[in-house]
Amino acid sequence: MLRINKEIVLPDAEIEIQAIRAQGAGGQNVNKVSSSAHLRFDIAASSLPESWKHNLLHFADQRISAEGVVIIKAQRFRSLERNRQDALTRLRDLILAANKTHKKRKPTRRSLASKERRLEGKVRRGMVKSMRKKVADL
């Protein structure tokens, strides 16, 4: 079972984890031991609340396929169990990130003093520019 938060728990049957061989250099052991974890999680078939599914399906992340399946490949560690835990942690973090509520922006106004300083600066700059003009002959 994967605990997302206090209320939401995903059963193990919804998360498919396969052991595959890790990529890259690794010495003698890498070619004969499947220590990498390949996690697949079907969003539509999960027991997540509908609003959470919607947010996750519309979350901009390359680990979510067009079919609505989260695919996470964990090969950071040398043991399969640590990679399995890493994949589950990354799935949990992805689900929480997709459903994070953002603080609503409260519109603010500029203060009267800041508006006056801005206008005063514009007047000063205009005076400097006007002093550059040629003097008219009288």
CA distances for 75 relative to 27, 36, 38, 87, 129, angstroms: 15, 5, 9, 9, 65
Do the domain assignments include residue 121?
no
Do the domain assignments include residue 129?
no
Do the domain assignments include residue 43?
yes
- Does position 115 have pLDDT exceeding 90, yes or no? yes
Tally of domains in the chain: 1
Do the domain assignments include residue 127?
no
At 118-137, the pLDDT tens digits run: 999 999 999 999 999 888 76
Contact by Cβ (8 Å): 16, 39 = yes
Do the domain assignments include residue 7?
yes
Q: End-to-end CA distance of the chain, in Å?
A: 93
If you search the block for the tokens 């589950």, which residue do you land on? 88
Helix (H) or strand (E) holding 93: helix 80-98
CA–CA dist 120, 76 (Å, integer): 59
Do the domain assignments include residue 27?
yes
Do the domain assignments include residue 112?
no
Phi, psi of 123 (to 5 degrees): -65, -45
Do the domain assignments include residue 135?
no
Q: Which domain holds residue 65?
A: 2-98
At 27-43, the pLDDT tens digits run: 666 667 778 899 999 99
What does the pLDDT read at residue 101?
85
Q: CATH number of the domain that 84 lies in?
A: 3.30.160.20
Contact by Cβ (8 Å): 71, 94 = no
Task: Give the pLDDT mean for 78-107.
Answer: 91
Contact by Cβ (8 Å): 87, 75 = no
